[in-house]
């Protein structure tokens, strides 16, 4: 039954113009958003734009890996030696523990925090896709790791050239070091990012990454130590380096560039070993990237 017109509630709704205007400027788009995410993630890996406490560990590690290189250059020049005491790729191998600490501490910063604070869906509400997110985070962590290792190499190289050491030799071995740094920045990093993406708890991510890197390296060391004779490690024992991302890179680089000496030298055994080690490194990186894509496709 319809109400009389007097009994009907009055329609008092009005529209107020409070000054909001639509955006008519240029749309920067998906590529710009992806680059911004990469830049922000790279800065976050070194604590830039974050609290002072977040800067302590990455900056401390950067100083710790660079200071010995400066000391080596100073001693070489003071003693008038013709060569640096260590080769460029060998120096990176000496930094294995420090590089692992940086990777284990910062990979969860890039991935676990977003999962914990539920900000991942916010990223996907923007133009970027899940693939863009994975590429930006993967590239940021790899570049952060690469910068950490290139810093001491540049100190060694510039110091050697300023000290008048052989230009051709140092340039060639510096390039060997750059290739080694790129491999270290891709192979262990890819595996660490997969581990970090599995948990929203940063502490769990740090412990899992550090545990995997430390245990795999220790297993390789134990097997090689048990198998090694009085003069050299047998070729059959060299295959165990496939279990550790760091040892894999070290063995592959030593064989490719004929580096290293002594009975403890790790290397890929022969041509077949080079092919197998290269295929394993590629499989680790590509497989980890595919797992990351699958992980974020489900979020």
Low-confidence ranges of the chain (pLDDT < 50): 230
* pTM, rounded to two decimals: 0.85
Residue 4 pLDDT = 56
Residue 11 pLDDT = 56
Give per-residue burial for 73-110: e unless 16+ CB within 10 Å, then b: beebeeeeeeebeebbbbbbbebbebbbbbbbbbbbbb
Alpha-carbon distances, residue 253 vs 23, 58, 132, 258, 270 (angstroms) = 54, 26, 31, 8, 13
User: Over the stretch 245-257, which tens digit does the pLDDT of each residue have?
Assistant: 999 999 999 999 8
Residue 230 pLDDT = 47
CA distance 255 to 270: 8
User: Over the stretch 62-118, which tens digit does the pLDDT of each residue have?
Assistant: 999 999 999 999 999 888 888 889 999 999 988 888 989 999 999 998 888 888 878
DSSP 20: -
């Amino acid at each position: 039954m319809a109400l009389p017109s007097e009994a009907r509630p009055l329609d008092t709704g009005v529209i107020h113009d409070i000054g909001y205007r639509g955006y008519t400027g240029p749309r920067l788009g998906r590529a710009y958003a992806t680059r911004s995410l990469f830049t922000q993630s790279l800065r976050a890996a070194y604590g830039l734009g974050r609290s002072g406490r977040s800067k302590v560990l990455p900056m401390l590690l950067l100083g710790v890996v660079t200071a010995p290189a400066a000391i080596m250059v100073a001693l070489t020049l003071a003693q008038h030696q013709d060569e640096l005491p260590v080769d460029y790729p060998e120096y990176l191998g000496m930094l294995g523990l420090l590089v692992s600490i940086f990777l284990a501490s910062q990979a969860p910063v890039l991935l676990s925090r977003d999962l914990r604070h539920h900000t991942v869906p916010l990223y996907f509400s923007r133009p970027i896709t899940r693939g863009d997110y994975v590429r930006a985070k993967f590239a940021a962590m790899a570049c952060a790791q690469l910068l950490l290792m290139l810093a001491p190499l540049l100190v060694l190289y510039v110091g050697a050239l300023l000290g008048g050491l052989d230009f051709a030799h140092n340039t060639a071995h510096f390039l060997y070091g750059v290739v080694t740094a790129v491999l270290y920045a891709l192979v262990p990093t890819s595996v660490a990012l997969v581990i970090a993406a599995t948990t929203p708890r940063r502490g769990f991510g740090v412990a899992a990454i550090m545990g995997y890197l430390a245990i795999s390296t220790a297993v390789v060391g134990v097997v090689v130590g048990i198998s090694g004779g009085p003069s050299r490690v047998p070729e059959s024992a060299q295959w165990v380096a496939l279990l550790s991302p760091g040892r894999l890179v070290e063995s592959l680089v030593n064989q490719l560039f004929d580096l290293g000496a002594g009975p403890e030298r790790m290397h890929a055994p022969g041509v077949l070993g080079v092919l197998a080690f290269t295929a394993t490194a590629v499989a680790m990186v590509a497989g980890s990237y595919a797992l990351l894509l699958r992980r974020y496709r489900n979020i």
